[in-house]
A and B are shown apart, each in its own frame.
Chain A
Amino acid sequence: MNNLLVFPLLIPLCTAVILLFFKNSVTGQRWVSAIGMLFNLAAAIVLIYQVKTEGIQTLHMGGWLPPYGIVFVGDMLAALLVLATSIVGTFCLFFTFGTIGKEREKYYFYPFYQFLLVGVSGSFLTGDLFNLFVCFEVMLISSYALIVLGGTKKQLRETLKYILINILSSTLFVAAVAYLYGVVGTLNMADLSQRIAEVGQSGVLNVIAILFMIVFSLKAGLFLFFWLPGSYSAPPAAVSALFGALLTKVGVYALIRTFTLIFYHEPAITHHWMAWMAAATMVLGAFGAAAYSDIGRILNYNVIISVGFLAFGLAVSSKEALDGVVFYLLHDMVAKALLFIIGGMLMYIAGTGRLKEMGGLIKRYPFMGWMFFITALAIAGIPPLSGFTGKLLIIMGGFQEKYFWLTAVSLASSFIVLYSLIKIFMAAFWGAEMKNTDSLPAVNKGFIVSAAGLCLIVVAMGIGSEWVYQYVSEAGHTLINPAQYIDAVLKE
């Protein structure tokens, strides 16, 4: 029992409720939400420390023992992801201050922002399948509001599609929960895992596993990503940075949790499917990233490629590959937020997303240019930076488990990632200068703080991989031995 587990939910929730009361004082809103984020960060760090020293933490809501009550479980994976969420949330918030505009800030932008974080942290920490559904909905409803807030034509149009696809996937989620409850009779994840291990995962349980895979793939943008490029290009840069960093990763986390804890008995069926979906995602995402010459589109297809890469690691499911998945997931949350922040700023100062109309920005914005360069190398996985270790581990896992073709595809997709991002760098920062560069707007303080902070983390995660790896390895250890998780939840 550890009450600290509920703090990553409780702090943003209380912050959001406080923020509802004074909508006109923008300065006040900014201070309150920033302070809330800092508390959240502190809670996440303490949580990781506790998980590291005392093992998996659990909290039984209302004192009801599992499987009867709702249980919150903080294993290393959940704790690390909560920390990454609050880091990304904090830095995106600083970026928001300068870029989002007074109009949006007055209409409850910050409460929605905090509610989104409630949903994301809740999804990471919960140990109950239906509670996961509820946390997903908290996250999604706030994301609907954030994506449409401002009400431009493009936002309205894309939100319609975004809501429709998410209602559909939520409906399928409830259907999958209904089937699973009908077969097994419980919804607590640890209890589910134990009972499925007893009755054997066969026939109908495989079908349910595939149904869950479809549901979470829709959320994560794994193969079923057709909704993603349009939806993520609609909202302002700060919001799409938050979405690109967090929303799909929650889907990936749900995939990891279900297929390492609950449905891990028939890898020939479930993991095989996932491997092919991952390959298709990487290939199609790579086509998208290479084909477009529009910054927004390229960044969105990069999100898709990384989801495919993570799913490939999950499909391999050896110890190395799962370590790699955890490491790459952490890296990807930070690096994608950074990429979207810089990309958003780039589109803002150039006044367009089209690469043909840009050029020569390195003279006026050298700091931004080189940060973008570092980010591009980090995402492609160049050694001293953070993307390398995760990719290395996943690819090592792929070779050891003899997934040669898929490993080749994932390596090739890394080249395309590098190509697409360097294409942006060369077109926007090099080449002939844009007309009247002097009249271009200056970058604001919030951008410098957030981008420099995230960039430092990306570099530090790369150089200090050894240090990060001890945490990641512990997370991977729990994923590969579900018994640890089950013991922590069910045996008190």
Chain B
Amino acid sequence: MELYMSLAIGVIFTVGVYLILSKSLLRIILGTSILTHGVHLLLLTMSKLKTGSAPLLGEKAETYVDPLPQALILTSIVISFGVTSFFFVLAYKAYQKLGTDDMEQLRGNDDE
């Protein structure tokens, strides 16, 4: 199971990196959020996907899955959610003010 997950995460990383390297700002933001998906799945996978009960003591199971990565992922999800929403609004403001979403045209110049 870990093997398939790793392959899937590899594909997600590839897509994310490809999108980040493109010109359009929206594609770049999509790329970053795809990358964060990949990394969250990676966190889940790296704690070994053993079968076990959900980490609730009421389940009274023999084995539970590792609860720590789930807490880490939850933290990371809300952080990346906050950052992504900030990034989207920033892109919107930048489009309004600079009139382009092409990263090639967002280079610095001295006469400002």
Contact = CB atoms under 8 A, between A and B. Distances in A.
Given A178-B43, A181-B47, A153 B86 contact: no
11 contacts: A133-B76, A156-B97, A157-B98, A157-B108, A158-B108, A160-B94, A167-B80, A168-B32, A170-B80, A174-B42, A182-B46
Nearest to B40: A174
Interface residues of A, number: 33
Contact of A156 (B40, B48, B98): B98
Range for the number of chain B residues in contact with chain A: 35 or more
Given A154-B112, A161-B106, A174-B76, 6 more contacts: A130-B75, A141-B82, A156-B94, A157-B106, A164-B28, A181-B68
Contacts of A159: 90
B15 interface: no
Tell me what chain A mostly uses at the interface: helix, strand, loop, or mixed.
helix
Q: Which of B36, B40, B83, B112 has the most CB of A within 10 A?
A: B83
Interface of B: 20, 25, 28, 32, 35-36, 39-40, 42-43, 45-48, 68-69, 72, 75-76, 79-80, 82-83, 86-87, 90-91, 93-94, 97-98, 103, 106, 108, 110, 112
A177 interface: yes
Pairs of residues from A and B, 10 with the lowest C-beta to C-beta distance, nearest first: A182-B46, A178-B43, A156-B94, A178-B46, A174-B39, A178-B42, A167-B32, A171-B35, A175-B39, A137-B79
Interface in A171-187: 171, 174-175, 177-179, 181-182, 187
Interface of A: 130, 133-134, 137, 141, 144-145, 148, 151, 153-154, 156-161, 163-164, 167-168, 170-171, 174-175, 177-179, 181-182, 187, 230, 294
Contacts of A141: 82-83, 86
A167 B83 contact: yes
Q: Which of A151, A153, A167, A230 has the most CB of B within 10 A?
A: A167
Contacts of B45: 178, 182
